[in-house]
Amino acid sequence: MKIDFPEMISGSYFPKSLRFLQGFMLGIVFIIIATVLLILILLAFTDYAPIIDDNYRFLFFVFFIILTSLAGLLIYDTINNKKRRISWYKINNLGILFFNKENQLIQKILFNDLTKNPDIYSKDVYSESSGSGKYRSFKMNLCVFEKDANGQVRKRIVDFNSVFVKNKYSLIAHFLKGIKLFRPDIIINADIYKDFYLNENTLDFVPEQFKKDIYMKGVVFGIIALLFIIVSFII
């Protein structure tokens, strides 16, 4: 019997007609880098620049090497990682499928591949903060477990934070609904509902909870900033 599970696709903040702005801004960055490199070349390697101390010429040479390396890394990342970078994703009765800008499937997490947490005292699906220790952030990741090609169980972060989408939390809710529907043996940690602003009973995204949390975080940051300004004036 086929189970009715609707497909949900990530929604972009920007319409396709405005995507050319990304390329335009990237072109501006390359022009700025090329201009700075040209100036450094003139200052460090030619006699057309004003008389400059040799120590400063060496410093310009170091800046030139650093900037050239950064430009090379940027070009390499732009060209070689283009097809591996997630552009959009969708959730259907198979699981979650990730695509690049050319609509090629590059990653997937299938409901059938999910497995139990090797730690019997922990839940099979849970949330955790990005980073660790002092580098922990407010950004939360959704974690599952799956078996790789060798049959080994591994933890997998469901990459909902790789691309900015306007229906992120609705997609998370839909993915969890799929787990509940297709894999009832997989146990979901109850903290997930709070971390991703979901109704525990319906698994629907609750925008009011999200707005309230953002407001409270804004107030806290505002108070900290105000205290910092006051202390700086006192000192």
* Geometric angle at alpha carbon 20, from 17 and 23, rounded to 5°: 160
pLDDT at 150 over 70: yes
User: How does pLDDT run across 188-225, given as a tens digit for each residue?
Assistant: 999 999 999 999 999 999 989 888 888 888 888 888 88
Range among 23-32, 43-52, 109-118, 133-142 with highest mean pLDDT value = 109-118
Please tell me the pTM assigned to this model: 0.70
Of the pLDDT bands very low, low, confident and very high (cuts 50, 70, 90), residue 134 is very low
pLDDT (0 to 100) of residue 65: 76
Report residue 133 CA to chain centroid gap.
Answer: 19
Of the pLDDT bands very low, low, confident and very high (cuts 50, 70, 90), residue 4 is confident
pLDDT (0 to 100) of residue 98: 93
Burial of 39 (0-12, 13-18, 19+ CB in 10 A): middle
Of the pLDDT bands very low, low, confident and very high (cuts 50, 70, 90), residue 159 is confident
pLDDT (0 to 100) of residue 44: 59
> Which residue type sits at 147?
K
Q: What are the residue ranges spanned by the domains of the chain?
A: 16-80, 111-223
Q: 107, 111, 105: which is closest to 125 by C-alpha? A: 111
Of the pLDDT bands very low, low, confident and very high (cuts 50, 70, 90), residue 148 is confident
Q: Are 188 and 196 in contact (CB under 8 A)?
A: no
Q: Do β-strands 95-99 and 140-147 pair in parallel, antiparallel, or remain unpaired? A: unpaired
